[in-house]
């Protein structure tokens, strides 16, 4: 599970519309985009950067970035769209962007895509703002290689999906993440067309509320298709022993089996 260690490192805000490594008239960079994949872990050999990509999308992940011995937590977005984002690479929006001191405006870091290599790896140029952290590793290196591997079941944690939503195929129950979900644990949802809230708790616990009313509480188990909620604390009368929730893409695939992934 990603580290919960807080950090006091102060970094400047980076404009997301940074100048890319290369100027291109093409809108998409297929060389980079073809590397996007769900349920994988991206990391460098030294373990300075680790990104878990899980959930319904292959272009969002959750990152731990080691800077001067401190663990920075961040939402990661893979972008290969130069025309829209004016950026091809990985954008990291740190925890402070969502739940930190608003006067600091949060912090964003980037890795500029340079080229793909064999075995599902890619070479990135380390952005100037990472170098300005004065971490010796980023200062002394211009390039960094990230490789991907399949995520293991033990590494799955629905809390650390990014930009994801879940639906029950059995009852009218759904949840969707907000930007600060990995840090606060809070999601919004619908139950029988009524607004509800979902909270990821410590030790894989969860709670569902409607206003001040507690609807359900128990433990969640993360799966490759979504998550399973066990109502072993409260809510069996309302929801039953357990409920499975899946990503929208899983439902779509079941309804359109010939559509591929």
Q: Is residue 70 exposed (0-12), middle (13-18) or buried (19+ Cβ within 10 Å)?
A: middle
- Identify the pLDDT of residue 5: 45
- The rounded percent of the chain whose pLDDT value lies above 70 is 83
- Identify the pLDDT of residue 101: 61
Q: Which residues of 196-235 are buried (b: 16+ CB within 10 A; e: fewer)?
A: bebbbeeebebbbeeeeeebbbbbbebeebbbbbbbeeeb
> pLDDT band at residue 133, thresholds of 50, 70 and 90?
confident
Residue 95 structure tokens: 């925890």
In the predicted model, is pLDDT for residue 18 greater than 80?
no
| pLDDT tens, position by position, 164-209 | 999 999 999 999 999 999 999 999 999 999 999 999 999 999 999 9
For residues 107 and 124, the answer to whether their CB atoms sit within 8 Å is: no
For residues 83 and 103, the answer to whether their CB atoms sit within 8 Å is: no
For residues 163 and 182, the answer to whether their CB atoms sit within 8 Å is: no
- Identify the pLDDT of residue 98: 87
> pLDDT band at residue 126, thresholds of 50, 70 and 90?
very high
> pLDDT band at residue 48, thresholds of 50, 70 and 90?
very high
DSSP single-letter state for residue 102: G
**What's the mean per-residue pLDDT of the chain?**
85
In the predicted model, is pLDDT for residue 256 greater than 90?
no
Average pLDDT over residues 70-96: 87
User: What whole-number distance in Å separates Cα of residue 65 and Cα of residue 82?
Assistant: 25
Residue 81 structure tokens: 């769209």
User: What whole-number distance in Å separates Cα of residue 138 and Cα of residue 125?
Assistant: 10
- The rounded percent of the chain whose pLDDT value lies above 90 is 67
> pLDDT band at residue 158, thresholds of 50, 70 and 90?
very high
Taking CA atoms, 158 is separated from 14, 103, 236, in Å, by 28, 30, 22
User: What whole-number distance in Å separates Cα of residue 87 and Cα of residue 19?
Assistant: 7
Q: Is residue 242 helix, strand or coil?
A: strand
Q: What are the start-end ranges of the H helices in the chain?
A: 30-33, 82-85, 96-99, 128-131, 136-140, 181-184, 236-239, 248-255
Please state whether 203 falls in left (phi above 0), alpha (psi between -120 and 50) or beta.
left
Q: Is the pLDDT higher at 15 or at 47?
A: 47
Average pLDDT over residues 244-254: 82
| pLDDT tens, position by position, 91-118 | 999 888 888 665 555 567 789 999 999 8
- Identify the pLDDT of residue 61: 97
| Sign of the Cα pseudo-torsion (102, 19, 132, 31, in order) | positive
User: What whole-number distance in Å separates Cα of residue 89 and Cα of residue 80?
Assistant: 6
Give first-to-last CA distance, the chain, whole Å: 27
- Nearest C-alpha neighbor of 130 from the set 179, 62, 68, 73: 68
């Amino acid at each position: 599970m990603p580290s919960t260690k807080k950090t006091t490192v102060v970094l400047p805000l980076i404009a997301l519309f940074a100048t890319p490594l290369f100027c291109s008239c093409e809108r998409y960079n297929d060389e980079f985009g073809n590397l996007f994949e769900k349920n994988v872990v991206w990391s460098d050999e030294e373990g300075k950067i680790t990104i878990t990509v899980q959930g319904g999308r292959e272009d969002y992940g959750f990152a731990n970035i080691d800077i001067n011995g401190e663990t920075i937590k961040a939402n990661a977005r893979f972008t290969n769209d130069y025309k829209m984002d004016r950026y091809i690479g990985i954008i990291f929006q740190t925890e402070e962007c969502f739940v930190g001191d608003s006067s600091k405006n949060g912090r964003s870091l980037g890795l500029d895509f340079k080229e793909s290599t064999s075995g599902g790896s890619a070479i990135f140029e380390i952005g100037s703002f990472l170098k300005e952290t004065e971490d010796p590793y980023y200062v002394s290196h211009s390039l960094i290689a990230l490789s991907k591997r399949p995520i293991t079941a033990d590494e799955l944690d629905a809390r650390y999906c990014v930009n994801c939503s879940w639906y029950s195929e059995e009852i009218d129950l759904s949840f969707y993440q907000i930007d600060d979900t990995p840090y606060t644990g809070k999601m919004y949802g619908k139950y029988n067309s009524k607004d509800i809230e979902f909270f990821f708790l410590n030790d894989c616990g969860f709670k569902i509320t409607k206003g001040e009313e507690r609807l359900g509480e128990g433990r969640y188990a993360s799966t490759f298709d979504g998550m399973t909620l066990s109502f072993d604390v409260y809510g069996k009368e309302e929801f039953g022993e357990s409920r499975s929730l899946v990503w929208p893409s899983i439902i779509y695939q079941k309804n359109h089996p010939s559509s591929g992934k």
